[in-house]
A and B are shown apart, each in its own frame.
Chain A
Amino acid sequence: MLADSGGGGAIVPFSGDPNHAAPPPPPVRPIRHGVAPPISRVFVSWSSGNLLQVACLSGGRGAEEVAGSVVEVNLAVANGSAEVEQEIDEAEMRRIEYGSVPAFALLQSRRNALADAAAMQHMHSVSERAEWWQYVLQYSKTIGKLLGSPDSLPGLMIEDPRAILKVRERPTSLKAAWELLEIFYVDKNLHSWLPERLVDWLADYDSLLTKTDGTVYCKLSDFQKKLINLQVVENDPDYWNGLSAALSVGWLDVVVNMLRFHGSYQLDQMDNRETENGLVEAVAVLVSTMPRMRPDLPTGKLGQCCTSRPDFIKAWEKWRGQVSKLECSAFWIQCGHQKTRDGLKNLLHIMMGNIKDLTAATSHWLELFASHFLYIRPFTVGFEGMHHLAQKCIQLKPSFGNSGLTGLLNGILSENPEVVLAECTKKFGPWMVTHSMELLAADNEYADIMLHEERPNFGGLSIEELHRLVYAQVLSSHSLTWQIAPTYLSSCLNQGLGLLEILLLKQPIQDNRQVLKTLELCRLYELENVSTNIMKIAGIYHWKHGRKGTGVYWFQQAHDKVRLDRIAQQLFERIGKSVADDNFKQWEGLVELLGSDIGSAGGLEFLHRYRDFKRSLQQALEGRTGEAARQTVEFLIQLMRNPSTPQRFWLPLLHDSVRLLNCKPCPLLNVAETTLLLNKLQELSMAKLRPDFCTNHLPSHALSSVRLALASNLARAILEEP
């Protein structure tokens, strides 16, 4: 499953009509493989997630060194077309991906807890619960912080008094988009002062609105560059343009700061500019006392803060009165500087809500939109008429180089969550979509239904689940982030666990630490079958690659009785071929590894007894102590008496003991014991005649040499018997 590459058909068609015209063909992406054309054959294979391995083979029969090339294509990366990819590098994106896991997981567990509680009390769905949106808000704030906070200024910065725009962390459209969704979909506290919040948002992200058309931010930063070489600012039209632009979007602190650059403030004035200065200052005071309907004002921001609506209306009427009064004042005639007079008057007109001046002062439709709330319809509450106004502003200031942000805002204002989701997919990528769906559905019943409705035409998936699966695939495409994919997969009720199982089984098993990490995920999500499979796969890999100990360890952990028995059987077969001394250590090591606790099969018990016998035999032959020899013989008798000892090993066992039996002056076996062994030998001779007899790899004279040794031992035993 791929992230939508912006081309062909979207995976979530928001028109909702299956019969609409065929989607345009997707863009063709060339693969750079370095093989000379023509290409005779192409092979592909999916590895984890969206990684596609493409092998291109050359058709030329020439003797080129490189006749083919394998390229790994990450289909989740649309080759830098999405805005996010240009702004945020891969390592930074991974930091965001990691950081959002705990917040996402916490929100899911809260949802589940609320759902459980609701089920107990027969209550309605989770989203109707009062506390839910606050949980989502908390989640939204956590993620927002992760995306970088625009206000995190280092405290030691020396402020340049001539700096118009504060230098701060470069804003990203990802963060801007996230805040936009939070403002409109989650934060109910904002409802009464939504327009002010939008103005604040614009102050933070105005620079991101467009890359081609102008913005207030552009105007001001252009003027800032010019400012260094400017002696008399008030003579420059850009000064006044900048002022009106900044005022139109409500950047009051910028306006007041800029007004103070005015030449009339300078002390060494040759002529009398006191009235002029008074007017400038009067405008500055009016600007800085503009009433604003909001709970608080961050430090550095200007205006008078009104928390209640009646207060605000009262303050607004009063302030407007002051503005009008100044506009009609007689002092203007005494102001000798034409440009100052016009410029200041223009500012007053903006404050009075003159639509013509506002339209002229702003650049982007969104700025015009914001200025409407500030000066024309300051008493707007909530969504009231916003969409209509936006359409009007777009008509007045059509924009071409639109960023994802304006598209997103359009979707929000038209109250169309499908458009919002589509914009997120197209412009901000799978991370944004997956995490922002929580915001969309926080307090919006329509979005909630749209996201969670199961689609029978799509295997019963809902849009929410689909996007989580898509995001999990993106995470799976990187060998560091695949480990966080399970968090998202486990939140998918229908198909998440199925994909998780496949993902876990696709992980490499060569490295034990990595296997343990994969197994830990299996444990977390209670996927015992998967962990057993992984252990078996790791076991066979190590077994085949010369690390038999590790192989057996994994087989044991997986309780792979079939393979352990098979290994035991292989050890049996080695006995038949008489375990040579140098091999014995290795053989012994394996028996040791197999342990005794797994041995429900009688075979292992035999192997352990045989190991004891063999060990003791070696000691007896080396040390020649009577103790070891006696011990060995005891083991031999035990083995021969035990019904679990396969008949085919009787002869090898006896043959192994011949040297011991022959080298001792006194008999090691008593009469009864010798008779037992001779009987076994007899049985063996009889069995030899049967067709199913299994031949050993022993010399042909083995049987007779054993018989001889036993016979002489019996003779001596009879002589010694009291």
Chain B
Amino acid sequence: MADSPSFRRHPLPFSVDLLRWLPSSTSSARLIAAAVHDPTIPASSHLHLLSLPDPASPLASLPLPSRPTALRCSPSVLAAATSSGSLHLLPSSFDTDSVISIPSGAGFHVGPVRGLDCGGEEWVTAGEDGRVHLVSDGGDGRVVARRVCDGKGMLGYEAARWASSAEFATGGAGCGVQWWDRRKGDAVVAQCKGIWGRGVAAGIVHSIDIHPSRKHICVVGGSSGAIFAWDLRWPQQPIPLSGVGLHETAEPICESEVWEVLFDNYTQSSDIISAASTRILPVMMCSEDGILAIVEQDERPLELLAEPCAINSFDIDPQNPSDVVCALEWESIGVLTRGRDAMAAE
């Protein structure tokens, strides 16, 4: 088959925590933003601009005050949050001269911020300190952060994702997933504990993604291999996707931490006609035990990669969804190119 999937590892001289595709112009270079650090060197956390096919030397670089914990890209802006609680926004052209930062501290976040997403005009940040902020353009090249919630350390957030300009979802340790509605006084309007494996009563939500066409459905990845979909119309009935919590015989795709989940437009649902109505789109996930796979409701998971080390982050190229880039624990990144024929043959 000429179009079989190909995978290539690129060893790098630093540890890559997070990766995002950047919108590329018409030129042949494919650009990636990578959040990196080297634990043996103090103050070595950076945001690197890497290009494919040769990512070894960064094209541009932005120093960060501490280890990066979240990275998101909107069509025009690239945002990174750090373990000390700061936020850094720069144009997606990676123009490091026009960076806008919000320092960590009592006025913003203290400690790691892992929930970060762009909702058009506004960015949402959700931190382990239990605070949720909305960050918007204040004019004159400044940004304004408005506190939506202060959990006072009672809650710790790990993920945040916009569903519409008025709604977003958050998740964290022990609190499951929450649905926020700005029209109802910036309040949590729905909540779900989730489905957790291995006799765990409550796990940690690591990642949330919103269904691209049906905004009332989100998919959640977290502790102990848990992946479930949550449909706001039936908030008390999350739908298991990973085999965890399904039934005794179902073999879960992984039993370790699911670090990231994304709806995958590229994989054709096995049943295209019904997909439009009831089925949930296939979901791509990566895990601590090195799995990159596609899971789908009532289907056997499709394993794309089984690496010997953790896959900490991945991203599907929005412009070219056959291409997936992932950050591997062993100081390298992997680039997976999926062939359409190969996928259809499954």
Contact = CB atoms under 8 A, between A and B. Distances in A.
Contacts of A520: 256-257, 288-289, 310
B308 A516 contact: no
A611 interface: no
A480 B256 contact: no
A619 to B, nearest CB: 17
A593 B256 contact: no
A553 B174 contact: yes
B223 A550 contact: no
B130 interface: yes
A547 B128 contact: yes
B53 interface: no
B174 to A, nearest CB: 4
A102 B308 contact: yes
Contacts of A95: 11, 331-332
A98 B174 CA distance: 34
Interface in A277-315: none
Nearest to A101: B308
B331 A597 contact: no
A557 B308 CA distance: 27
Contact of B153 (A102, A480, A517, A548): A548
A479 B40 contact: yes
A546 interface: yes
B154 interface: yes
Contacts of A549: 130, 151, 153-156, 173-175
B75 interface: no
Nearest to B223: A516
A85 B202 CA distance: 48
B330 interface: yes
B129 interface: yes
Contact of A512 (B11, B204, B329, B330): B204
Contacts of B83: 511
B152 interface: yes
Interface string B108-127: 00011000000000000000
B308 A480 contact: no
A586 B152 contact: yes
Contact of A98 (B129, B200, B330): B330
Contacts of A516: 204, 223, 257, 288
Interface in A539-570: 546-550, 552-553, 556-557
Given A478-B40, A590-B154, A597-B201, A547 B309 contact: no
Given A547-B128, A553-B202, A597-B201, A512 B173 contact: yes
Nearest to B330: A98
B39 A479 contact: yes
B50 to A, nearest CB: 16
A79 to B, nearest CB: 17
B13 interface: yes
A659 interface: no
B285 to A, nearest CB: 16
B154 A586 contact: yes
B104 to A, nearest CB: 14
Interface in B285-341: 288-289, 308-310, 329-332
A91 B331 contact: yes
Nearest to B129: A547
B288 to A, nearest CB: 5
A280 B128 CA distance: 80
A520 B310 CA distance: 10
A577 interface: no
A341 interface: no
Contacts of A589: 151-152, 154-155
B45 interface: no
A428 B15 CA distance: 26
Nearest to B329: A483
Given A479-B40, A480-B39, A553-B202, A548 B174 contact: no
A6 interface: no
A480 B15 contact: yes
A197 interface: no
Nearest to B12: A91
A688 interface: no
Contact of A480 (B173, B204, B331): B331
Contacts of A523: 255-256
Contacts of A557: 200
Contacts of B223: 516
Interface in B190-206: 200-202, 204
A552 B173 CA distance: 10
A95 to B, nearest CB: 5
B288 A517 contact: yes
Interface string B142-179: 00000000011111101000000000000001110000
Interface in B2-48: 11, 13-15, 39-40
A620 to B, nearest CB: 22
A553 B40 CA distance: 30
A454 B112 CA distance: 48
A516 B225 CA distance: 12
A260 interface: no
Interface string A209-253: 000000000000000000000000000000000000000000000
Which of A101, A478, A589, A590 has the most chain B CB atoms closer than 10 A to its own CB?
A589
Given A547-B129, A553-B174, A595 B201 contact: yes
A94 interface: yes
Interface string A86-106: 000001001100100110010
A546 B204 contact: no
A569 to B, nearest CB: 18
Contacts of A553: 156, 173-174, 202, 204
Interface string B187-222: 000000000000011101000000000000000000
A310 to B, nearest CB: 47
B156 A550 contact: yes
A585 B153 CA distance: 12
A687 B154 CA distance: 37
B331 A98 contact: yes
Contacts of A517: 257, 288, 310
A516 B223 CA distance: 9
A483 B173 CA distance: 24
Contacts of B155: 549, 589
A458 B332 CA distance: 39
Nearest to A590: B154
A456 B22 CA distance: 60
B40 to A, nearest CB: 6
A550 B112 CA distance: 13
A548 B255 CA distance: 27
Contacts of B330: 98, 484
A590 B111 CA distance: 20
A524 to B, nearest CB: 8
Contacts of A547: 111, 128-130, 153, 156
Interface string A582-624: 0001100110110101000000000000000000000000000
A49 B11 CA distance: 25
A94 B331 contact: yes
B149 to A, nearest CB: 12
A664 B158 CA distance: 46
B39 A511 contact: no
A520 B174 CA distance: 19
Interface of B: 11, 13-15, 39-40, 83, 111-112, 128-130, 151-156, 158, 173-175, 200-202, 204, 223, 255-257, 288-289, 308-310, 329-332
Given A512-B128, A592-B154, 11 more contacts: A91-B14, A91-B331, A512-B112, A512-B204, A516-B223, A517-B288, A520-B288, A523-B256, A547-B153, A550-B174, A589-B154
22 contacts: A91-B11, A91-B13, A91-B14, A98-B309, A101-B309, A483-B309, A483-B329, A512-B128, A512-B158, A512-B173, A520-B288, A520-B310, A547-B111, A549-B175, A550-B156, A550-B174, A557-B200, A585-B152, A590-B154, A592-B154, A593-B154, A595-B202
In the A-B complex, the 3 residue pairs with the smallest Cβ-Cβ separation, listed nearest first, are A589-B154, A91-B13, A98-B330
